[in-house]
Amino acid sequence: MTVIAIDGPSGVGKSSVSREVARRWGFGYLDTGAMYRAMVWLCLNRGVTDPGDVVELVRGADLEISTDPDHEEISVDGIDVTAEIRTTEVSENAQLVSSVQDARDELIELQRAIIAAAADGIVVEGRDITTVVAPEAEVRILMIADESVRIARRSKELHGTADEAAVAATRAQVADRDAKDSKTTSFLTAADGVHTLDTTDIDFAQSVEAVMGLVERARV
């Protein structure tokens, strides 16, 4: 069983690249960020903000997530929240869960269980996958890109354009989230043994080929 761990900040393309790599290899795909988002949605839905209550809520939640790269689905306590977790409100409140270490530990345990249950292989992407969740993965990659490029990409994703107004609306969201997340996770500097893939000047297809090459070498 092959585990491919991919870290990186917003806008580097890790989600789309990870999905495509999983498709090509016939592997599973795990979006750990979606798991955090689902728990944020639950906290907002229940009006929970106290760290202790957040931990209890996360610990007692029935969280299920698809590992099919062609089928995104995540549910909490039997409620499909696939669309709800992508709202701006959820994004802006990510720290409700990600800043609480005991809540992180609960999700990390679940992520490791999902990885262990994978059949032929799985591509796992997020913020601390190469160092905390799956440090023993056969392939560990940190995807990076210049901030201006990342903001433009996320702007196109969120607003369908990267014009001046759209970029301005996206800048704070990307930069602020990276600043907050960097306090609790390590995703800006590659740890020992982790490959750095800079996507600043390469497109989606080239990024996928670069990751495919690393996986092929690891599986020889």
Q: Is the pLDDT of residue 39 over 60?
A: yes
DSSP reduced 3-state for 122: strand
CA gap 23, 145 in Å, rounded = 24
Q: How large is the average pLDDT for residues 131-145?
A: 96
Residue numbers belonging to the annotated binding site for ATP: 8-16
Given the structure tokens 């590992």, which residue do they identify? 67
Q: With 70 as the cut, is the pLDDT of residue 16 above it?
A: yes
The DSSP-derived string for 51-63 is: HHHHHHHHHH--E
Q: What are the φ and ψ backbone dihedral angles of 73, each rounded to 5 degrees? A: -155, 130
CATH of domain 1-27+121-220: 3.40.50.300
Higher pLDDT, 149 or 16: 16
Model pTM?
A: 0.88
Question: So what's the pLDDT on residue 66?
Answer: 97
Q: Specify the CATH class of 31-117 in words.
A: alpha beta
The upper half-sphere exposure of residue 167, i.e. CA atoms within 13 Å in the direction of its Cβ, equals 10
Helical (H) or strand (E) element with 173: helix 164-181
Instruction: Name the H helices within 26-125.
Output: 32-46, 51-60, 88-92, 95-98, 101-116
pLDDT(156) > 80 = no
Could you give the residue range(s) of every CATH 3.40.50.300 domain in the chain? 1-27+121-220, 31-117
Task: Please state, in angstroms and rounded to a whole number, the distance separating the CA atoms of residues 212 and 18.
Answer: 10
Residues placed in the known binding site: 8-16
